[in-house]
Structure 1
Amino acid sequence: MAKLTKRQKAAASAIDRDKLYGLEEALELVKTHATSKFDETVEISMNLGVDPRHADQMVRGVIQLPNGTGKNVRVAVFARDAKAEEAKEAGADIVGAEDLMESIQAGNMDFDRCVATPDMMAIVGRLGKVLGPRGLMPNPKLGTVTPNVGDAVKAAKGGQVEFRTEKTGIIHAGVGKASFSADALKENTKAFIDAVVKAKPSGAKGQYVRRIAVSSTMGPGVKLEISELI
């Protein structure tokens, strides 16, 4: 386990690990202790009462954060001809077809989101073992397999966040930057929590949302009072 710095120890000691904080107070604590030289990401972790090994308990979705993520999202698009040009005009960072597939197979994965037109899925399907584990496989349910590639690229770059449960039933995502105002972070965090709640699967039994915590990239976690949020 990595040794904590003096700054991290001081931040951790200022937070009661047994206390459940209101959202506003928690975000203020996160902002106060995000003192690194870079603009830290504000992250949320939600522990859900699901077992994602069962298909009817998988939680997955997409949310357009009202105030964006503050992150420069690199988008790769599988498209040809007019659709390729549409993607480029919308700001896609990488556009291609077979050449893009070969580049990814060679280990070039310099992008955060992947979009494809429906006719390109025969090519994209060959990359399932590469893109799937990284959560980058285009999916029509998430709007990343679509003929409207321009809109998909703009959404990805404008603050759209995908979420899915990890093996342990935890969902983890960034909801903004420490430099955001407290109100902007609050709006983004509530929007994200609402999206996860709405995505409750049919197979979920008992308490769905068990724990929620927020933190900055280098800061300690702050537990939230769930009853005030759901």
Structure 2
Amino acid sequence: MAQQTKKQKMLTQRLDADKAYGVDEALQMLRDVKTTKFDETIEVALNLGVDPRHADQMVRGMVSLPSGTGKDVRVAVFARGDNAEKATAAGADKVGAEDLMEDMQNGNLDYDRVIATPDMMGVVGRLGKLLGPKGLMPNPKLGTVTPNVEQAIKAAKGGQVEFRVEKAGIIHSGIGKMSFSDEQLRANFDAFLDAIVKARPAGAKGKYVRKISMSSSMGPGLRIDNAEVDGV
């Protein structure tokens, strides 16, 4: 990390691990203590009152961030015929069938999203052990198994992100880049949190969103005041 200025050192020393920051205040603090030259990602993590080992407490879904992610999303599509042509025209990075399957089996898995038409799941199913651990397995509940490949590609490249709670009850995601305006990041934060709240599973008991924190790629983690966030 680059050397901090006197101002940045002072601000870093002022950071209070026990303080609950407002969202706008946290964003400003992360900007003030930034020392890197690259465009860092702003990340949000939530500690949820769920135990994902139980099926009725799993939290998983998709959310479209209104300001986008600032990331170039690579999309692979399993499709044939007209759907393959539509996928190519819609901007998919790779389109294929058995040839795409073989390419992935050979280790070419540099994708952020894998989409498939329903008729291709027989082929995609052979890749379960490769795509599953990477969170890339197409799933109809997430909209990644669909006959409308154009819409799915547009959503993936336009700011749609997947979320899934981890074993410890933590769920996290990037919500944009440091170069975004405060208004853009706040809109993405609100959309992400709203999606998590709406995805509350039937088995969740007691307080659902227990803790919210925000950080940048190379910056400190700041606790966000739950009282400022509606619905938690």
Displacement, 1:13?
2.5
TM-score, with length taken from structure 2: 0.94
Give unmatched runs, 5+ long, in structure 1: none
Moved over 6 A (4+): none
Asked if 1:179 corresponds to 2:179, the answer is yes
Distance 2:32 2:75 in 1: 32
Identity percentage of aligned residues: 63
Hey, what does 1:200 align to over in structure 2?
200
Shift of 1:97: 0.7
User: Do the aligned partners of residues 86 and 202 (structure 1) sit closer, same or farther apart at CA in structure 2, a change above 3 Å counting?
Assistant: same
Q: Are 2:209 and 1:209 equivalent residues in the alignment?
A: yes
Contact 1:44 1:172 in 2 (8 A): yes
- Counterpart of 1:58 in structure 2 is 58
Preserved CA contact (<8 Å) 1:78 1:120: yes
Distance, in Å, in 2 between the alignment partners of 1:28 and 1:185 is: 11
* Structure 1 partner of 2:165: 165
CA RMSD of aligned residues (A): 1.6
Provide the C-alpha distance between the structure 1 equivalents of 2:56 and 2:134, rounded to a whole number of angstroms. Answer: 21
Q: Distance in 2 between matches of 1:95 and 1:7?
A: 46
The secondary structure found in structure 2 opposite 1:47 is strand
The answer for the alignment partner of 1:190 in structure 2 is 190
Q: Any residues of structure 2 matched to 1:65-144 within 5 Å, and which? A: 65-144=65-144
Alignment partners' CA distance in 1, 2:208 and 2:2: 36
Whole-Å separation in 2 of the counterparts to 1:54 and 1:117: 30
TM (normalized to structure 1)? 0.94
CA offsets 1:52-78 (integer angstroms, 9 cap, x no match): 111111100111101000100000100
Question: Unaligned 5+ residue runs, structure 2?
Answer: none
How much has 1:7 moved relative to structure 2?
A: 3.8
Cα separation, 2, equivalents of 1:139 and 1:12? 43
Cα distance in 1 for partners of 2:24, 2:132 equals: 36
* Number of equivalent positions: 227
**Distance in 2 between residues matched to 1:199 and 1:68, nearest whole Å:** 21
